[in-house]
């Protein structure tokens, strides 16, 4: 009897040991329980969560949206006090008008300079004719003086008149060159005036942009998150006011590196959503992360120091939800899911 009990106990221990080994092998997907079907519960819904912030500082004068409200692209989310920015637009317009007037005045100065050149050319011609008459008079007086007919006083007066005529020609030539240089100066300064006008026009556009930025709008269709800004609150540029969550969602499943050999782009998967009473959605693998999740962490592990224990790394895999599923429109970023590959 004792021998029977001993044999029974031994057989029971062997059976329990085999069951324990089988459980461990199944849990770790070891032969003979290994399968090409891969599953991970380290998976979450992701989406484009757009944080809304102002580009300007000012007091909030209007917040027309409420928490979790559906909005369209371009819908007004908040308004800032725009009185200062409206005056900046008017100030920039006044500066532009002043620069445009200066440019127009430059054109008028050019016309005046061209007229001065005409006058200087006429004066030079007149001085040239006077010089010619003085030369002719001098030649006659000198000839008469050589014959003893003209007096020395007549000769000196004629020579003085010729010298004055030559001086007048030189002065007229100098005046003509001055007027030409004045015209060139006006033409050269025209470029700086045009640049000033262009700068003033840019200032007007910048002021208009600042004015338009006092109205904060939704960049795309979506649902507003919790509204963190209040009426009358002073906000600085970059202050987070609220978030807009578009309807586009996908799943990031973090598979172990040992599972990747059984996963490929385009492969069908099943996504079980915890929030939907574990209802299943169909999807497919889009692409793999270029590196393990540990490589994107702020503090990366240094495996070259201390004792080492090998740990299977996780590789993020992007999963797209197939169209035509009613439950997919209720997916929200952050929900937990379980992803299982479908064996082809």
N- to C-terminal Cα separation, the chain: 56
Same domain for 324 and 279: yes
Residue 221 contacts residue 247 (beta carbons within 8 Å):
yes
User: Is residue 10 in some structural domain?
Assistant: yes
How many domains, the chain?
4
Same domain for 208 and 218: no
Contacts of 199 (CB under 8 A, 6+ apart): 99
Can you give the CATH number for the domain in which 68 is found? 2.40.50.100
Same domain for 149 and 139: yes
Same domain for 90 and 208: yes
User: Is residue 40 in some structural domain?
Assistant: yes
Report d(CA 231, CA 271) in Å as an integer. 42
| Per-residue pLDDT at 180 exceeds 80 | no
How distant is the alpha carbon of residue 292 from its chain centre? 30
Same domain for 150 and 232: no
pLDDT in tens, 38-69: 899 999 999 999 999 999 999 999 999 999 99
Closest CA to 270 of 282, 259, 260, 255: 282
Contacts of 172 (CB under 8 A, 6+ apart): 120, 123, 124, 126, 127, 128
User: What average pLDDT does this structure show over 2-20?
Assistant: 67
Same domain for 313 and 275: yes
Tokens 């035509």 map to which residue?
A: 324
Q: What percent of the chain has pLDDT over 90?
A: 48
Residue 269 contacts residue 339 (beta carbons within 8 Å):
yes
Can you give the CATH number for the domain in which 319 is found? 2.40.30.170
User: Is residue 265 in some structural domain?
Assistant: yes
Q: Label residue 2 by pLDDT band (50, 70, 90).
A: low
Same domain for 103 and 67: no
Closest CA to 77 of 235, 205, 204, 207: 235
User: Is residue 52 in some structural domain?
Assistant: no
Q: E strands of 172-330, at which residues? A: 215-217, 222-224, 234-235, 242-245, 249-256, 268-273, 279-288, 314-321
User: Is residue 5 in some structural domain?
Assistant: yes
Report d(CA 91, CA 88) in Å as an integer. 5
User: Is residue 258 in some structural domain?
Assistant: yes
User: Is residue 27 in some structural domain?
Assistant: yes
312 lies in which domain range?
Answer: 35-47+246-341
Q: Label residue 239 by pLDDT band (50, 70, 90).
A: very high
Report d(CA 81, CA 79) in Å as an integer. 7
Q: Could you tell me the pTM of the whole model?
A: 0.66
How distant is the alpha carbon of residue 225 from its chain centre? 25
Same domain for 116 and 204: yes
Can you give the CATH number for the domain in which 88 is found? 1.20.58
Structure tokens at 108: 């008028």
| Backbone phi, psi, residue 243, to 5° | -130, 150
User: Is residue 53 in some structural domain?
Assistant: no
Mean pLDDT of the chain: 83
pLDDT in tens, 258-316: 898 889 999 999 999 999 988 999 999 999 999 987 888 777 777 777 777 788 889 99
Higher pLDDT, 146 or 231: 231
């Amino acid at each position: 009897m004792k021998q029977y009990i001993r044999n029974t106990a031994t057989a029971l221990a062997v059976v329990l040991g085999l069951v324990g080994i089988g459980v461990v092998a199944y849990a770790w997907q070891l032969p003979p329980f290994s399968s090409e079907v891969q599953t991970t519960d380290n998976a979450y819904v992701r989406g484009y969560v757009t944080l809304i912030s102002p580009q300007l500082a000012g007091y909030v004068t209007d917040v027309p949206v409420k928490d979790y409200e559906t909005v369209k692209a371009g819908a007004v989310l908040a308004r800032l006090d725009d009185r200062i920015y409206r005056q900046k637009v008017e100030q920039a317009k006044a500066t532009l008008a002043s620069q445009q007037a200066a440019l127009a005045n430059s054109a008028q100065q050019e016309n005046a300079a061209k007229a001065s050149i005409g006058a200087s050319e006429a004066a030079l011609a007149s001085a040239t004719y006077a010089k010619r008459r003085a030369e002719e008079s001098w030649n006659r007086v000198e000839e008469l003086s050589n014959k003893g007919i003209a007096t020395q006083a007549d000769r000196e007066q004629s020579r003085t008149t010729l010298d004055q005529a030559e001086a007048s020609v030189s002065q007229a030539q100098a005046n003509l060159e001055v007027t030409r240089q004045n015209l060139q100066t006006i033409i050269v300064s025209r470029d700086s005036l045009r640049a000033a006008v262009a700068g003033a026009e840019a200032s007007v556009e910048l002021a208009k942009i600042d004015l338009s930025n006092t109205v904060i709008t939704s960049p795309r269709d979506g649902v507003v998150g919790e509204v963190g800004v209040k009426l009358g609150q002073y906000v600085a540029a970059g202050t987070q006011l609220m978030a807009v969550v578009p309807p586009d969602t996908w799943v990031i499943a973090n598979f172990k590196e040992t599972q990747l050999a059984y996963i490929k782009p385009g492969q069908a998967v099943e996504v079980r959503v915890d929030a939907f009473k574990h209802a299943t959605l169909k999807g497919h693998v889009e692409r793999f992360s270029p590196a393990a999740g540990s490589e994107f962490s702020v503090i990366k592990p240094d495996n070259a120091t201390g004792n080492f224990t090998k740990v299977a790394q996780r590789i993020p895999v992007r999963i797209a939800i197939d169209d035509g599923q009613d439950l997919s429109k209720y997916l929200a970023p952050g929900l937990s899911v379980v992803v299982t590959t479908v064996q082809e």
